[in-house]
Amino acid sequence: MKLYSSVDGGTASITPLQQMLSSGSGAILTSLLTTPFDVVKVRLQAQQRSAHLKPCYLMECRCLDGVTLCVITPEGNHMQTIKFRGTIHAFLNIAKREGIGSWWAGLSPTLVMAVPATIIYFTMYDQLKALFGFRPGETNILAPVLGGSISRTIAVTAICPIELIRTKLQSRQGYSYSEVTDVVQGAVRQNGVLSLWRGLLPMLLRDVPFSISYWLGYEYLKLRLYSGMDPSMHSIVPLLSGALSGGVSAVITTPLDLIKTHMQVEMGESKSGPSLGAGSLLTVVRNVISEHGYSGLFAGLTPRVAKIAPACAIMIASYEAGKEYFAQNNIQS
């Protein structure tokens, strides 16, 4: 397969294995750097579930009347919690109450999910865009749209069960792997193995449009910046293109990300008994709008953009750098 090389302005051959190595290293780096933003985003979105957050009386509470806010765990226990007022407030209070290590809650499934998903996604995108007639140095529309949508659909479907586990681990303080395992096993017993793909529809509705928007924006911006900038600045083009395109795409798809979070977090919660939880996609939308207004659909927007914009920049820059390295190495060989 022929891939665009920003150094020679033409094409250079790299193998699918070299593509996989380039994308895998970027996936590990972005996961380590951006997981804290994902934790805060999930917490801000999950706290909207007012049915699980209610006044209760805790004997160990040090406040004057003993009344505080608490969340009811799947076992029926009351856990004292706090209402986050925004991104910074969430960051500070999670660190204060749970330790800074809690910023990386769910990192293990994130790495397990991110590395294979990114390898599938980026490698398949490059293969498909070439198949659909991508032309380096030209404005391309059809190839990024088809390549991005197909590759993202396959990657998301493959990692949906891991994403469900990660979301539940990040949704509240003290959620252990054993608790998540019990919840997931109970859901599978009650509703079958397909319950592991709970939230797949909103994930696809979120990620496929995101992928189309991202790759269209990235390829367009990269083309314009390469042609309009001094060659000495070309090394930062992937960073700028990835950050701008990723940030805009994150804003557009935040409501669908929120719906996905609700559907996955509420699976197996006591409110729903043995059922899957929040109900259909439209039910979640109606509930969020009725309780929080249309602005409620954008809960977690700030940490989501703060995560995705630099993540896209780092990921695509490391991927392009890896491809460039292998392309030059192959030419010399």
Is 290 a domain residue? yes
pLDDT tens column, 263-306: 777 665 544 444 444 557 788 888 889 888 898 889 889 889 98
Whole-angstrom Cα distance, residue 312 to residue 208? 15
pLDDT given at position 262: 81
Is 68 a domain residue? no
State the pLDDT confidence band at 173, using cuts at 50, 70 and 90: low
- Cβ–Cβ under 8 Å, residues 230 and 277: no
Q: Which residues of 221-246 are buried (b: 16+ CB within 10 A; e: fewer)?
A: bbbebbeeeeeeeeeebbbbbbbbbb
Is 143 a domain residue? yes
Mean pLDDT for the chain overall: 78
**CATH code where residue 223 lies:** 1.50.40.10
State the pLDDT confidence band at 59, using cuts at 50, 70 and 90: very low
Is 185 a domain residue? yes
- Cβ–Cβ under 8 Å, residues 13 and 3: yes
Is 180 a domain residue? yes
pLDDT given at position 58: 44
The parent domain of residue 313 ranges over: 2-51+100-332
Nearest C-alpha neighbor of 32 from the set 310, 248, 218, 244: 310
Is 225 a domain residue? yes
Is 69 a domain residue? no
Whole-angstrom Cα distance, residue 51 to residue 277? 12
pTM over the 0.85 mark: no
Q: Which ranges in the chain belong to alpha helices (H)?
A: 16-46, 87-98, 107-131, 142-170, 177-191, 200-228, 237-265, 281-292, 301-332
Whole-angstrom Cα distance, residue 247 to residue 311? 10
Q: Residue 95 corresponds to which tokens in the numbers above?
A: 């660190």
Q: Where is pLDDT greater, at 237 or 80? A: 237
* Total structural domains within the chain: 1
Is 193 a domain residue? yes
pLDDT tens column, 133-156: 998 888 889 999 999 999 999 999
